[in-house]
C-alpha cells in the first residue's frame, strides 16, 4: 500500500489506513536503531531541512537522528541567528530555504495553522508539521499510538484518559483525532478552565475529577500546563493544580490492571505528574521517545516516495 499524501500536516487529513501504514512502517524501521551500524541508504541523496521557530528537545533531535539513520542530508535552521532578526518574514524565509532544493521541510511554529498555509504556498516540497501552536502535532500522536500498541497489543476498545491542559495542547488535539479513528474511547479531564469550550464536539467524554477520569482507565496520557500559551491564570496556583489535578500513584490504584502512563514531555515533576509515577513501572515516557525515532523515520521515508525496500 502506498502513502499518497504530499504533506504530513494534520491527523485530521489521515485515514485509519494511512495511520496503520505509518505505524507498520515505523515498526519495520525501529530495529535499525538497535544495530551496531545504525544507518540504511534509503534516503541517500535526499535533503531534510529542520526549521524550528519554537524550542524543542525531543522532536527536533529525533527528526535529525531519523533523517541521518536513513542517510538523508540534514540541515537544522533556527530563527535565532537568522535574517529574521532583520525583518524577513517566515514565508520569505521558507521560500528562500526552499530555493536550496530540500526534499522535505520539518517545521515547528508557535502560530496555529501557519505551517499548512506555508505548505500551500511552497508546493514543490513535502512538509511535516512538528507542532503548530495549539493546533496539531501529528508525529507525537503517531508515536503515542505506536507506544500504546506495543504495550497493549491494540488500540480499539481501550479506555484512554487525556489529563491536564487540553485547551492549549496540540498533542491532545492530534491524539483525540487519532485515537478515535483507531477505535479507542477517549475521556479528557482537567480543570474546567483548561478543557476546550468545544469539548462536546470532539467525540470524547469529559470530567473535572481526576479520580473519576482514571477509574478503569487502560491508558493515562498526562499533559503539561502550557504556561507559554496561557493568557491569564486558569487556576489559582501551581501548588493547587498539583494537589487537585496532578496524577499520583493513588489514582492509578483505581485504573485497570496494567494501566500505562504516557507524557509527551517536557515533564514538570511534582506538578502534573508525581515523580514516583513518572519513574514507575507504569510509565512509558522513555518508550515514547524511543518510538519517536521510528515514527519520524517512517514519516520521512513514506513522504519521500522512495519505493525500494529498506535493507
Ligand atoms: N513532545 C515534544 O514535542 O517535545 P519537544 O517540545 O521537546 O519537542
Helix (H, G, I), strand (E, B) or coil at 204: coil
Going by CA atoms, what residue is nearest to atom 4 of ligand 1?
58
- Domains identified in the chain and CATH numbers: 11-136+290-304 (3.40.50.1370), 138-288 (3.40.50.1370)
265 ligand 1 Cβ < 6 A:
yes
pTM beyond 0.75, yes or no: yes
C-beta atoms surrounding 280 within 10 Å: 12
Q: Which run of H or of E encompasses 28?
A: helix 16-30
pLDDT of residue 225: 87
Going by CA atoms, what residue is nearest to atom 7 of ligand 1?
57
pLDDT of residue 228: 72
Ligand 1 centroid–CA 1 distance in Å is: 30
Specify the ligand 1 atom closest to the Cα of 59.
8
pLDDT of residue 169: 96
pLDDT of residue 82: 94
pLDDT of residue 186: 98
Q: Is 201 exposed, middle or buried (0-12, 13-18, 19+ CB in 10 A)?
A: exposed
Taking residues 102-118, what's their average pLDDT? 97
Specify the ligand 1 atom closest to the Cα of 54.
6
Q: For residue 221, which of 150, 140, 294 has the smallest C-alpha distance?
A: 140
Ligand 1 centroid–CA 30 distance in Å is: 20
Complete DSSP assignment for 57-125? SHHHHHHHHHHHHTT-EEEEEESTTSGGGGT--HHHHHHHHHTT--SEEEEEESSTTHHHHHHHH-TTS
Ligand 1 centroid–CA 308 distance in Å is: 31
Q: What is the pLDDT of residues 175-196, one digit of tens each?
A: 999 999 999 999 999 999 999 9
Q: What is the pLDDT of residues 123-176, one digit of tens each?
A: 889 999 999 999 999 999 999 999 999 999 999 999 999 999 999 999 999 999
pLDDT range class, residue 231, cuts 50, 70, 90:
low
pLDDT range class, residue 238, cuts 50, 70, 90:
confident
Taking residues 255-274, what's their average pLDDT? 97
What is the rounded CA–CA span in Å between residue 108 and residue 92?
A: 16
**C-alpha 176: how far from its chain's center?**
12
pLDDT of residue 257: 97
Instruction: Record the cell numbers describing residue 181, joined without a space.
Output: 479513528
Specify the ligand 1 atom closest to the Cα of 264.
1
Q: At what angle do helices 170-181 and 138-152 cross, to 10 degrees?
A: 50
Amino acid at each position: 500500500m502506498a502513502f499518497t499524501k504530499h504533506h504530513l500536516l494534520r491527523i485530521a487529513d489521515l485515514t485509519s489506513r494511512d495511520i496503520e501504514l505509518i505505524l507498520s512502517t515505523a515498526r519495520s524501521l525501529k530495529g535499525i536503531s538497535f544495530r551496531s551500524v545504525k544507518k540504511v541508504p534509503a534516503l541517500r541523496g535526499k535533503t531534510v531541512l529542520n526549521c524550528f521557530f519554537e524550542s524543542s528537545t525531543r522532536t527536533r533531535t529525533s527528526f535529525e537522528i531519523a533523517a541521518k539513520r536513513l542517510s538523508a542530508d540534514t540541515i537544522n535552521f533556527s530563527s535565532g541567528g537568522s535574517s529574521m532578526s532583520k525583518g524577513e518574514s517566515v514565508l520569505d524565509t521558507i521560500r528562500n530555504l526552499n530555493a536550496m532544493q530540500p526534499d522535505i521541510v520539518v517545521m515547528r511554529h508557535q502560530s496555529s495553522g501557519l505551517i499548512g498555509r506555508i505548505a500551500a504556498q511552497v508546493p514543490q516540497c513535502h512538509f511535516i508539521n512538528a507542532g503548530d501552536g495549539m493546533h496539531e502535532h501529528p508525529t507525537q500522536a503517531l508515536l503515542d499510538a505506536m507506544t500504546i500498541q506495543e504495550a497493549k497489543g491494540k488500540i480499539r476498545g481501550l479506555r484512554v484518559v487525556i489529563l491536564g491542559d487540553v485547551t492549549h495542547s496540540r498533542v491532545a488535539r492530534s491524539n483525540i483525532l487519532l485515537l478515535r479513528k483507531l477505535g479507542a474511547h477517549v475521556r479528557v479531564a482537567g480543570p474546567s478552565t483548561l478543557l476546550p469550550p468545544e469539548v462536546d464536539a470532539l467525540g470524547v467524554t469529559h470530567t473535572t475529577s481526576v479520580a473519576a477520569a482514571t477509574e478503569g482507565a487502560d491508558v493515562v496520557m498526562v499533559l503539561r500546563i502550557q504556561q507559554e500559551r496561557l493568557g491569564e491564570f486558569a487556576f489559582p496556583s501551581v501548588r493547587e493544580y498539583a494537589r487537585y489535578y496532578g496524577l499520583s500513584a493513588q489514582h492509578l490504584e483505581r485504573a485497570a490492571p496494567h494501566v500505562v502512563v504516557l507524557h509527551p514531555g517536557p515533564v514538570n515533576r511534582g506538578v502534573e505528574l508525581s515523580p514516583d509515577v513518572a519513574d514507575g513501572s507504569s510509565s512509558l515516557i522513555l518508550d515514547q521517545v524511543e518510538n519517536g525515532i521510528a515514527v519520524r523515520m517512517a514519516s520521512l521515508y513514506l513522504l519521500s516516495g522512495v519505493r525500494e525496500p529498506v535493507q
